Amino acid sequence: MTASQDRGQFGSKIGFILSAAGSAVGLGNIWKFPGKAYFNGGGAFLVIYILLVALIGTTVMLAEFVIGRHTHKNAIAAVREINAKWSWVGGLGVLTGFIILCYYCQVGGWTIHYIIGYITESKTIYADPMNYFLTMLGANGFPLRGAIIFPLVFLFLTAFIISRGVAEGIEKMSKVLMPLLFVLLIGLMIRSCTLPGANEGLYYMTKMDFSVIGTNAILTALGQAFFSLSLGMGVMITYASYLSSDENLVSNTGIVCCLDTLVALFAGFMIIPAVFATGIDPGMGGGFAFATLAGVFSSIPGGTIFGLLFYFLLFFAAVTSSTSILEGLVAFLTEEKGWERKKTLVGVSVILYVIGIFYTLSQAFMNIKGIWVSRAGVEFPIFGDFLEYLTDRLLLPLGSFGVVLFVGWIWGTDKAVQEATSNGKYKFALAPVWSFLVKIVAPIAIGAILVAGMFMGMAIS
């Protein structure tokens, strides 16, 4: 048995694509993206986002795929095998993944809260969607369900899937659920865009007013691109390490990036027109995918069923992403530290669960008081924004920066292109362009964004 077989492998090409897309498509696309587009200028932001995905996102993703597939190892071991001094690039990802999962599991828990909500109390949701959302977060008493119970259920399911291994758990699940999600999103998008009053939203999402795009919008777009494409923490390195040597990494990169961006755009065009049509603007609290959509569901025949289906699929999109992060963490800790898989899973889960609780608790305050909270005369940032700032503005760009420098300058793009084309088996006409992007453009762009992010501090939206 070869080392790679020993670690488990994806059973099929489509299984890998759907799993990588499953990791990419998640809460980032449906819960985060529409709000970012809304607060950063609508149509112009979409253009910036697409450009950054095309130039930087695809570049980093292929670099991660190449490292993982070349070595068939977890992120740290993979980088170390090529050059030991650079293993920090993989190691950083463990920290990033841990922080992301802290809040990811909370929001994942909210999706379960809404599934149950649409089954048992859809009338309460429709009566006052914003109040329902805020109550879940703890605006009217301790959020036992929103912060404690459902996030725990979500985390438990994530850990359970991971414990079953790659092919059986992640791959099977993604194959069924990703296509379903796609179809449902398109259906809901059409409904939302045809609501009375949706036109204004459509106008907003296609308006090309670049005067609103400043440094902050660009920083937001790039951070969002890394988050949404699952880049900068070694997840794609780890996934590609389970891939056999004759898959076409270049076309896989294109497919995954396109799918992920399409889903984000669909989500934007599903949610923003609904904001305008229903007048439910949930402010900065990430309530777009929760509060706003109630307006759509209450306006369509059988809306409650659609609502139920939607949160069910949002939940699965979240699970296929959270599993990818947890898998990255566990692959590292078990293979590097020699820890036992089940014990590692439980230990890591407990710690991130406890930290995550504070995320949901802080959200209620944010909706009430804005981003900065004042306590005893001292202003301090909301915990949730702090986590997001750490991951999207600093750690994911830093991880991606490490990946492109490593592939561009340490390992060398010639060897990377060899691996990308499976030693010449596949054509890669854009190889010189990619090499240039990896070596020069991406490091400069990401480096600039990192520095700007540090100086601009936490003013994110």
Contact positions vs ligand TRP (CB under 6 A):
23-24, 26-29, 100, 227-228, 230, 233, 235, 321, 324-325, 396
Q: Where are the beta strands (DSSP E) in 330-391?
A: 372-375, 378-381
Nearer to ligand TRP, 36 or 439 (CB): 36
Nearer to ligand TRP, 75 or 115 (CB): 75
Q: Which residue, among 43, 68, 13, has the nearest Cα to 210 in the 3D structure?
A: 43
Nearer to ligand TRP, 226 or 428 (CB): 226
Q: Minimum distance from CB of 99 to ligand TRP (Å)? A: 10
Structure tokens at 446: 């990401």
Q: Minimum distance from CB of 321 to ligand TRP (Å)? A: 4
Q: Minimum distance from CB of 352 to ligand TRP (Å)? A: 14
Q: Minimum distance from CB of 177 to ligand TRP (Å)? A: 14
Q: Minimum distance from CB of 23 to ligand TRP (Å)? A: 5
Nearer to ligand TRP, 19 or 228 (CB): 228
Nearest residue relative to ligand TRP (C-beta): 28
Helices (H) and strands (E) in the chain, counts: 24, 2
Q: Minimum distance from CB of 264 to ligand TRP (Å)? A: 8
DSSP state, residue 148: I
Nearer to ligand TRP, 396 or 420 (CB): 396
Nearer to ligand TRP, 125 or 264 (CB): 264
Q: Is the dihedral of CA 445, 447, 452, 454 positive or negative?
A: positive
Q: Minimum distance from CB of 101 to ligand TRP (Å)? A: 9
Q: Minimum distance from CB of 61 to ligand TRP (Å)? A: 11
415: three-class secondary structure by DSSP: helix
Cα(310)–Cα(111) distance, integer angstroms: 9
379: three-class secondary structure by DSSP: strand
Q: Do 287 and 102 touch, CB atoms closer than 8 A?
A: no
Q: Under 8 Å CB-to-CB from 51, ≥6 apart: which residues?
A: none
Q: Do 34 and 271 touch, CB atoms closer than 8 A?
A: yes
Q: Under 8 Å CB-to-CB from 444, ≥6 apart: which residues?
A: none
Q: Do 317 and 181 touch, CB atoms closer than 8 A?
A: yes
Helix axes 199-206, 249-278, angle to 10 degrees: 140
Residue type, position 71, single letter: T
